[in-house]
Structure 1
Amino acid sequence: MLVAPEQPLWAREIAAFVLGAEGDRRAFETLILLLNYREPVRCATAAFALARLGDPRTARAAAALATNPLRTAYALHPVRLLTELRAPESVPALLATLERLLAARDHCWPIARACVEGLGALGDRRAEDALVAAREHERLRAAAHEALARLG
């Protein structure tokens, strides 16, 4: 179903979800495609399956999607996936994305908030400066305070 010609996207999505949730790595490419999709529901189901897939390429791919400045509006699920994976790529990618958003004219608040929450959940001290900077923004203040408290 994943590679058969002329299959509708919904059929590939279902097949990739089932295979990914069962740990079958043949679903990886399709799930990454869906994680990068513009439709939030498809991104969410792909992130769920990718988190269970156990493929070592997942964190690197999610980090590439989360840090891509041209895809910021669609980065919510890659950011959340990076937090769930707790991979070595997670903190650097979340930091890079948050720092870029804090410096940008358009902060893309939902993505910035997901980065703040993710960095707090990961509890890595490297995030301290970025979280202090996030406190300066009204829409991130509460989440940044909570995240800083989780750092210890």
Structure 2
Amino acid sequence: MDVHDTAGTVDEALVARLRAEAEPEEFKRLLALARRDTPAARDALAAELTAPARPLWARELAACTLGRAGDRRAFETLVFLLNHRDPPRGAAAARALLRLGDPRTARAAVALAENELRTSYALHPVRLLAALRAPSSVPTLIRVLDRLLAGPAHHWPVARACVEGLGALGDRRARLVLLAARERPELRAAANEALLRL
């Protein structure tokens, strides 16, 4: 996932994915609103987030579009999607949250990344923390990686994302945990590269 996507207020990868699961006429209506990028269109999309019995694809399209437009009404829905069991939903939410620039984002990403009951869904919160470069990013990634290295369930994709994020952040506080990660064959190459970037 490239959380640094910056093009437009409509995520075209999201559009292509949601088109396959959406009801065609309703999708066409919401996509037209998303492409309009006016205050009235954003109000209509925000209404989708709280309207009863709306399908998940409609909420996702509305929230990601609003997030990319900098509309903070999307925040709660985007945080829900960030930790969704479906990885493409988490990736789209991370891209939108990065664009949104809400000061609550880092705190929410920390909570999701550190939730031991949801570790298998923490890949996108971890990647978002690295992209945010918040004061909490390095300490959180160190804690999560340390726990994954010690625990019985290592969740290698999440652990690798922690290693890569720590390398990208280049903070020397990560040295000890990266040295420990280097001892794991699954993480050795990524850890060596991260250590070189400190």
Superimposed CA distance per residue, residues 54-86 of structure 1 (whole angstroms, 9 cap, x where no aligned partner): 000001100110111111100000000001101
> What's the counterpart of residue 28 of structure 2?
none
> What's the counterpart of residue 81 of structure 2?
34
How far did residue 93 of structure 1 move?
Answer: 1.0
Q: Which runs of 4+ in 1 moved over 2 A?
A: none
CA–CA distance in structure 1, aligned partners of residues 75 and 146 of structure 2: 29
How far did residue 7 of structure 1 move?
Answer: 1.0
Q: How many residues in Structure 1 have an aligned counterpart in Structure 2?
A: 151
Residues 1:73 and 2:124 aligned together:
no
CA–CA distance in structure 1, aligned partners of residues 135 and 122 of structure 2: 18
CA–CA distance in structure 2, aligned partners of residues 70 and 96 of structure 1: 15
CA–CA distance in structure 1, aligned partners of residues 138 and 176 of structure 2: 13
Give, as a single letter, the amino acid of the residue that structure 2 aligns with 1:136: E
CA–CA distance in structure 2, aligned partners of residues 136 and 37 of structure 1: 31
Gaps of 5+ in 2: 1-47
CA–CA distance in structure 2, aligned partners of residues 66 and 20 of structure 1: 20
Residues 1:55 and 2:105 aligned together:
no
CA–CA distance in structure 1, aligned partners of residues 151 and 118 of structure 2: 14
Residues 1:102 and 2:185 aligned together:
no
CA–CA distance in structure 2, aligned partners of residues 24 and 92 of structure 1: 29
TM-score (norm 1): 0.98
How far did residue 6 of structure 1 move?
Answer: 1.5
Larger Rg: 2
How far did residue 113 of structure 1 move?
Answer: 0.5
**Percent pairwise identity:** 71
CA–CA distance in structure 1, aligned partners of residues 123 and 101 of structure 2: 20
SS at match of 2:177: helix
Q: Which residues of 2 match residues 134-145 of structure 1 at below 5 A?
A: 134-145=181-192
Residues 1:10 and 2:57 aligned together:
yes
CA RMSD of aligned residues (A): 0.6
> What's the counterpart of residue 70 of structure 2?
23
